[in-house]
C-alpha cells in the first residue's frame, strides 16, 4: 500500500506570512500552495486566523502551531512553563528578551496540551482543561492570553500594554466550546454555562455596554453546547437534537433573525456579519449581511464541510470537490480569472471550483486566507528541502 502524508495547502493574503509561506514579495497567493507536510493521521482540530496571524490546532499532543504577524505578541513573547515547547529557530527567552520574533514566516510549534484556542484581531487565547486533584475538588479550565488588548479581550483587568506576558485566569469548570470575535471571547462550559470577556458595546456579551475585563457569566440558553462568534455578535446553540439558539449583538444586517429550526445541524460557522448552518443532509442555510455577495449560491450541491473567513466561504462537497465564494480580493477564493463576476473579486450567486492535489481531509479559513489539508502520496524529495510540520521523518 502506498504511504501517504497530509499536505497543507494555503492561498489568499500573505502580507505577513499568515499563510505559513515565506513572503518573497508576494502579498497575494491565488493558487493553493504547499505550506507544510505532516504524517499525523489524527488530523487537525481547527484552522483559524486573526488580523494577520494564523493558528493550527493539531490533535496529536493537542499542539498549536502559529504563523504570521507577531508585532503585537499575538503569537507569544516567551515560553510559558509546562506549555510552551521548543521553537527550532528561536532560543528560549524571557519576557524581557529582545529576541521575540516580529513575524513567523512558516508554521512554528507554539504550545502543547491545549484543549482549545481562538484568534481575535490582534490577540490569541488558549484553554487548558484541568481535572480536580482531589475527590472533593472541582474541575476547572485555565485561560492563557497573548497579544494586544483594546476592550479587555486579554482578560487581564485594566491592563492594555502591548507585548504583555501570558496570563492565567481560571474558569469554574471544563470548557466544551470556545470562540473569538474581533475583540471578544466566549467559552461554553461542560455544564452548559457560558462565560465571556472583551468588547460588549454592541451587546455581543449581553446587556453590559462596558468592556468585560475578566471572564463573566453571561446570559444564554440552557444548556448551551456550542458558541460561534462574528465581528460583533455571539451565536449560542444547544445540542444537535435540540433547537435551542440565541444571538447576542446589535440587530444589524438581520443577524437576530434566527431560523425557526436548526435541528440536525452538522456544523455552524460565521463570517464577520453572517451565520452559516450546515445540516447533516448537506444543505446550507445562512442569514446576515448579503448586500455584497449572496450568502448561499443557488443550486449549491450537498456539502460535507464549510469554513468561514471574514468575508468568504470555503466548502467541500459530499463528492470531495473544493468550492469557494464571497469576497476574494486577495486570492482567498482562488484564481477568479475565469469566473464571471458582476463586481471585481466578488463571487456571488455562483462558486469557484478549485483544483487541489489529493483527497481533502480538513479545511479552514481566516481573514482573506484559505487552508486545505489533503491526503497525498509521500513525497520522494529529501525532507530537508520540504516544508515540514508535526515531524515528517526521513526514510
Q: Taking 80 as the threshold, does the pLDDT of residue 40 lie above it?
A: no
Task: Give Cβ neighbours of residue 342 (< 8 Å, ≥ 6 apart).
Answer: 348
Question: pTM for the full model?
Answer: 0.92
Residue 394: predicted pLDDT: 34
Mean pLDDT score across all residues of the chain = 88
pLDDT in tens, 113-132: 999 999 999 999 999 999 99
8 A C-beta contact, residue 66 and residue 366: no
**Mean of the pLDDT values across residues 283-309?**
98
Task: Give Cβ neighbours of residue 157 (< 8 Å, ≥ 6 apart).
Answer: 213, 214
Q: Residue 383, CB half-sphere, CA atoms under 13 Å: how many? A: 13
pLDDT in tens, 12-30: 999 999 999 998 888 999 9
Lowest mean pLDDT among 39-53, 214-228, 356-370, 373-387: 373-387
Q: Taking 50 as the threshold, does the pLDDT of residue 287 lie above it?
A: yes
Q: Taking 80 as the threshold, does the pLDDT of residue 136 lie above it?
A: yes
Closest among 152, 257, 253 to 200, alpha carbons compared: 152
pLDDT in tens, 350-362: 999 999 999 999 9
**Mean of the pLDDT values across residues 354-380?**
94
**Residue 187 pLDDT grade (very low, low, confident, very high; cuts 50, 70, 90):** very high
Residue 342: predicted pLDDT: 76
> For cell 481531509, what's the residue?
361
Residue 88: predicted pLDDT: 32
Amino acid at each position: 500500500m502506498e504511504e501517504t502524508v497530509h499536505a497543507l495547502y494555503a492561498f489568499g493574503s500573505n502580507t505577513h506570512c499568515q499563510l505559513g509561506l515565506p513572503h518573497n514579495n508576494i502579498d497575494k497567493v491565488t493558487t493553493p500552495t504547499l505550506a507544510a507536510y505532516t504524517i499525523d493521521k489524527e488530523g487537525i482540530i481547527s484552522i483559524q486566523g486573526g488580523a494577520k496571524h494564523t493558528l493550527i490546532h493539531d490533535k496529536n499532543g493537542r499542539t498549536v502551531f502559529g504563523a504570521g504577524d507577531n508585532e503585537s505578541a499575538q503569537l507569544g513573547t516567551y515560553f510559558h512553563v509546562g506549555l510552551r515547547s521548543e521553537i527550532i529557530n528561536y532560543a528560549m527567552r524571557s519576557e524581557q528578551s529582545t529576541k521575540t520574533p516580529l513575524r513567523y514566516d512558516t508554521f512554528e510549534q507554539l504550545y502543547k496540551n491545549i484543549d482549545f484556542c481562538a484568534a481575535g484581531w490582534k490577540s490569541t487565547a488558549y484553554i487548558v482543561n484541568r481535572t480536580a486533584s482531589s475527590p472533593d475538588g472541582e474541575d476547572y479550565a485555565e485561560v492563557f492570553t497573548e497579544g494586544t488588548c483594546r476592550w479587555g479581550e486579554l482578560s487581564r483587568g485594566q491592563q492594555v500594554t502591548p507585548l504583555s506576558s501570558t496570563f492565567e485566569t481560571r474558569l469554574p469548570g471544563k470548557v466544551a466550546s470556545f470562540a473569538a470575535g474581533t475583540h471578544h471571547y466566549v467559552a461554553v462550559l461542560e455544564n452548559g454555562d457560558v462565560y465571556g470577556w472583551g468588547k460588549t458595546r454592541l451587546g455581543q456579551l449581553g446587556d453590559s455596554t462596558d468592556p468585560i475585563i475578566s471572564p463573566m457569566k453571561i446570559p444564554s440558553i440552557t444548556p448551551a453546547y456550542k458558541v460561534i462568534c462574528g465581528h460583533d455578535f455571539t451565536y449560542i446553540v444547544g445540542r444537535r437534537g435540540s433547537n435551542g439558539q440565541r444571538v447576542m449583538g446589535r440587530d444589524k444586517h438581520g443577524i437576530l433573525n434566527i431560523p425557526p429550526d436548526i435541528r440536525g445541524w452538522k456544523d455552524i460557522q460565521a463570517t464577520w456579519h453572517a451565520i452559516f448552518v450546515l445540516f447533516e443532509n448537506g444543505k446550507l442555510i445562512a442569514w446576515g449581511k448579503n448586500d455584497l455577495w449572496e450568502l448561499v449560491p443557488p443550486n449549491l450541491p450537498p456539502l460535507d464541510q464549510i469554513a468561514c473567513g471574514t468575508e468568504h466561504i470555503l466548502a467541500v462537497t459530499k463528492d470531495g470537490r473544493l468550492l469557494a465564494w464571497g469576497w476574494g480580493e486577495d486570492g482567498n477564493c482562488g484564481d477568479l480569472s475565469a469566473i464571471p463576476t458582476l463586481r471585481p473579486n466578488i463571487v456571488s450567486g455562483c462558486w469557484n471550483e478549485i483544483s487541489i492535489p489529493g483527497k481533502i481531509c480538513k479545511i479552514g479559513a481566516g481573514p482573506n486566507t484559505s487552508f486545505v489539508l489533503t491526503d497525498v502520496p509521500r513525497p520522494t524529495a529529501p525532507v530537508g528541502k520540504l516544508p515540514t510540520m508535526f515531524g515528517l521523518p526521513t526514510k
